[in-house]
Amino acid sequence: MGTKKNYTLILLLAFLYKFILDYAYKTFLVGNFAYSGFVIKENYFKYAESWLLLFLLISGVVLYTKGMEKPSKVILYIILLNLLVPLLTFYSMQDGARIYLYSILFGFMLTVWIVKKLKDFRVIMIEDSVKPVFFFLAVITLYVYGYLIATGGLSRLSFNLLAVYDVRSVYQQNNSGLMNYLVTWQAYAINMSMLIYTLEGRKKQLFFLFLFLQLLLFGMTGLKSFLFSPVVVIGLYYILKNVKLKNLVLEMMTVGVLFIVSLSVLLYSVFDNINAASIFVRRLLLVPAQLHFVYFDFFSTHETMKLSHSFLSFLFENPYNSPTPVDVIASVVFNNENFSPNVGYLGDAFSNFGFMGIIVYSITLGVVLKMLDSVARHVPIYFSAPLIVIPSMALINSALPTSLVTHGILFEITAIWLFSQIFKKTKAEGVPS
């Protein structure tokens, strides 16, 4: 009975979420951003079809993630709410390509199926690894902060949100190569791991130390995601640790995004304030959806890149003068080489290998998520899931290889594996000491 009620609640929340997105598109986006392609191309059949697809999508996800207490489900929910539902809205409003939308939905459900059906991988555990784990993390931490300070980090230090772009510009001039990876890994993996670890172990002084280090990282880089990530990670930690709430993760996440979108639309409708709606509705949700269709429109009629700009350059020649799919779209479609129209992992998959790319990338992501679940087998979900949530957000507007390496999904999986050694050893009800 409870499960049926949960399913009905999820459907109602998802339908309300799409309804608000549709309303925001028709009023806010068309009224203010028609010049950037947000127009209405009426197709009433596709509008009705989008609601049916939403019903089937939610039903499929609920069916396959039922009873799943693994961190991968949080990533699946993020893709569902932040990418697929906005894609349904854009599809219905712009008379989008049906075969492309269906291939994306199929690819996503293929990933869900792999995560559900594939058996956990055998994971090698290292005995007496507690001290080496913390030594390894400490070395990276000292190197990252030492390098940033040595390259003028304290001189550009600022916690003013209005100055983040100036700070970021100076930071990027002094940062390249390995540091591009290490800074992101420090912010999303090491600092967040230690925040949850110290919070769980009730080590208040260490908790505030790593919270300070995270704020310091934001102040020296100007990357706003570094500032807000502790809020998301700690919030999800408390939700998953609550016995009653941990089985309502999809409901809670849907309520969260529904609240943000509704509040943004309300501020626009009542006070004519476009700031929140522009950030959360347009930039966070519907621009990524728009770009997925922009990439399809271009690469369905032009040669795909086949990762010739990346690690398959030895096999395929780049057919364009631009180095990446993002640069191709920026220069050819938008005629602006100073613009970075980054697309999510499925849009990037199509730009490289067409429809087959969507299948291959979906399988690859499914295997990676199963690897995550395997290494997190001895780690409570309230520890593992919060750590992976921020890096996985990159999947909405970054290529899969970029999300895995640059944005730290693979490094986060490694960090969870390292902490699993500690959890397995202590076994004090899953609580680290």
pLDDT tens string 365-388: 999 999 999 999 888 888 899 989
- Quote the tokens at residue 223: 């990357």
Q: Say which amino acid occupies 243.
A: V
- Tokens 């600022």 sit at which residue? 158
Alpha helices in 272-393 (DSSP H): 275-276, 287-299, 325-328, 345-375, 381-392
Instruction: Write out residues in the chain with pLDDT < 70, as ranges.
Output: 1-2, 127-130, 243, 424-433
Cα angle 244, 231, 20 (rounded to 5 degrees) comes to: 75
Could you please report the per-residue DSSP string of 195-258?
HHHHHHTT-HHHHHHHHHHHHHHHHHH--HHHHHHHHHHHHHHHHHHSTTTGGGHHHHHHHHHH
**Residue 24 contacts residue 269 (beta carbons within 8 Å):** no
Residue 278 CB partners (closer than 8 Å, separation 6+): 32
Estimate to the nearest angstrom the gap between the alpha carbon of 381 and the chain centroid. Answer: 18
- Tell me, what's the pLDDT at 432? 46
Q: How far apart are CA 265 and CA 328, in angstroms?
A: 33
CA angle 218, 220, 225 (to 5 degrees): 25
Predicted pLDDT at 60: 95
Q: pLDDT (tens digit, 9 = 90+) per residue, 109-162?
A: 999 999 999 998 888 777 666 677 788 889 999 999 999 999 888 888 888 877
The 10 Å Cβ neighbour count of residue 98 is 12
Per-residue pLDDT, 380:
87
| pLDDT at 129 (0 to 100) | 64
Beta carbons of 25 and 78 less than 8 angstroms apart: no
Task: Give pTM, 2 decimals.
Answer: 0.90
Q: Residue type for 405, please?
A: V
Residues 26 and 24: their CA atoms lie apart, in Å, by: 6
pLDDT at 68: 83
Q: Where are the alpha helices (DSSP H) in 25-80?
A: 30-33, 44-65, 72-79
